[in-house]
Amino acid sequence: MIKEQIPDGVGRTAIGVARVRAHESTRRDRLFNDPYAAAFVVADGRRDLAVTAEPSPGLVAMVRHLVLRTRFFDDYLVAAAESGCRQVVTPAAGLDTRAFRLDWPAGTRFYELDMPAVLAFKERVLAEQGAQPAGPRTVIAADLREDWATALIRAGFDPTAPTVWLLEGLLVYLESDDVAAILTTITELSAPGSRLALTHGLGNRGRRQSPEPPAPEHSAAELTDVMGLWRGGLDEDPVAWLDRHGWRAERNDRADVAIAVGRGADYVTSQRSFVTAER
Ligand SMILES: C[S@@+](CC[C@H](N)C(=O)[O-])C[C@H]1O[C@@H](n2cnc3c(N)ncnc32)[C@H](O)[C@@H]1O
C-alpha cells in the first residue's frame, strides 16, 4: 500500500517545524506539548528528533523562533476563541495540531488549508494516532495563490461570524502580490470582531540583510534549501498594510514574548516581532 508522503518543495518546511515541536515537547520546561509532532517526523522516515547534534547560532535562532511563535500563537488563538472568534482558520496549516492539542471553548470550528500532499500526509498520520479534534474540523486542499475562499465557504465557513486567522510561517514563501491578495481575501471574509495573527519575513530588501540566515545544517535535513524557497513576502510593513485596510495591528516583540513565557530576553538574538490585528 502506498502511504502518503510530503514531496520535495515548500510543503517539506512543515516537517522541519514538526521536528522542532517534537524536540521542544520532550523538554521538562517545554513551552507547549505537541504529542503528534514526533509521529509526523517518524512517519516522514527520520527517527532522530534532535534538530542537529551541534547546532550553529543561526540554527539555534531559527529553532527558538519556531518555539516562541508556537507558544505565542497557541495562547493568542485560544484567547481569541474565548473572546468570541469561534471560527479558527489556518491558511498554510502545515502540520499544526492546535485543533487537537489545545483547550478550546465549546463550539469552536477549525478550517485548515494547505497543499493537497501536505494535508493527505497529515490526515493519514493523525488517523493512525487516533487523534480527535476539539470541535468540527475541515481540511481544504488549496494553493493559496489561487481562489481558496470559494472552497472555504463551501466547507461551511461563515463570513458573517467573527474569525481568528493565523498565517504562521507562510508569507516569506510567497511573492508580495500573492501575500497582498491573501490578506485582501482575509479582510473581505472577516466580520467585525475578527482577529489575525501572522509571521512575516523581512521583505525583499530585508531578506538580503537578514541578521539570521539559516545555518548550513538546514541543507542537510528537511529544511533543505529553505532559503531558496523564500520569495520575500509582503514588500511593505504588514502593520502598515493592515492599518490601511481596516485592521488595528500591532507588533509583539519576540523578546517580550520570551520574557513572558519564562525563557528570558536572551532567548532571542535579533529583533523581530509577531503581528496581531483586530477589526
Ligand atoms: C513553514 S510551514 C508552516 C506550517 C504551519 N503554519 C506551522 O507553523 O506549523 C509552511 C507551510 O506553507 C504551506 N504553503 C506554502 N505555500 C503555499 C501555497 N501557495 N498554498 C498552500 N500552502 C502553502 C506549505 O505547504 C507548508 O505547509
Closest to 61 in 3D by CA, of 274, 275, 271: 271
187-224 per-position pLDDT tens digit: 999 999 999 999 986 544 444 334 344 443 443 454 44
Q: What are phi and psi of 251, to 5 degrees?
A: -95, 140
Question: Which residue CA neighbors atom 13 of ligand 1 most closely?
Answer: 92
CA 143 to ligand 1: nearest atom: 20
Alpha helix positions (H), the chain: 13-25, 37-43, 57-82, 98-101, 116-128, 149-154, 176-188, 203-208, 226-229, 238-244, 254-260
Whether the model pTM is above 0.85: yes
At 8 the three-state DSSP class reads coil
Q: Which residue has the higher pLDDT, 50 or 18?
A: 18
C-alpha cell at 243: 492599518
Residues with CB under 6 A from ligand 1: 10-11, 13-14, 17, 92-96, 114-115, 118, 143-145, 168-170, 173
Q: What are phi and psi of 137, to 5 degrees?
A: -135, 130
CA 166 to ligand 1: nearest atom: 6
Closest to 268 in 3D by CA, of 252, 254, 279, 253: 254
CA 69 to ligand 1: nearest atom: 8
CA–CA distance, 202 with 236 (Å, rounded to integer): 9
Across the beta sheet with 195-198, what order do the strands follow? 137-141, 109-114, 87-91, 163-167, 195-198, 273-278, 248-253
Ligand 1 centre distance from Cα of residue 208 (Å): 22
Amino acid at residue number 205: R
Contact 67, 27 (CB under 8 A): no
71-125 per-position pLDDT tens digit: 999 999 999 999 999 999 999 999 999 999 999 999 999 999 999 999 999 999 9
Distance of CA 212 to the CA centre of its chain: 19
Where in the chain are the domains? 56-215+229-278
Ligand 1 centre distance from Cα of residue 133 (Å): 20
Question: Which residue CA neighbors atom 4 of ligand 1 most closely?
Answer: 94
Mean pLDDT of 169-184: 96
Query: For 56-215+229-278, CATH number?
Result: 3.40.50.150
Question: Which residue CA neighbors atom 25 of ligand 1 most closely?
Answer: 11
Q: How far is CA 91 from CA 48, 81, 137, 264, in A?
A: 29, 17, 13, 31
Ligand 1 centre distance from Cα of residue 12 (Å): 9
At 38 the three-state DSSP class reads helix
User: Which of 67, 115, 176 is the best mutation target for the ligand 1 pocket, counting ligand atoms within 8 Å of the beta carbon and taking the most?
Assistant: 115
221-279 per-position pLDDT tens digit: 544 467 778 888 999 999 999 999 999 999 999 999 999 999 999 999 888 899 999 99
Q: Please tell me what DSSP assigns to residue 217.
A: G
CA 145 to ligand 1: nearest atom: 19
Pairing label, strands 273-278, 248-253: antiparallel
CA–CA distance, 151 with 142 (Å, rounded to integer): 8
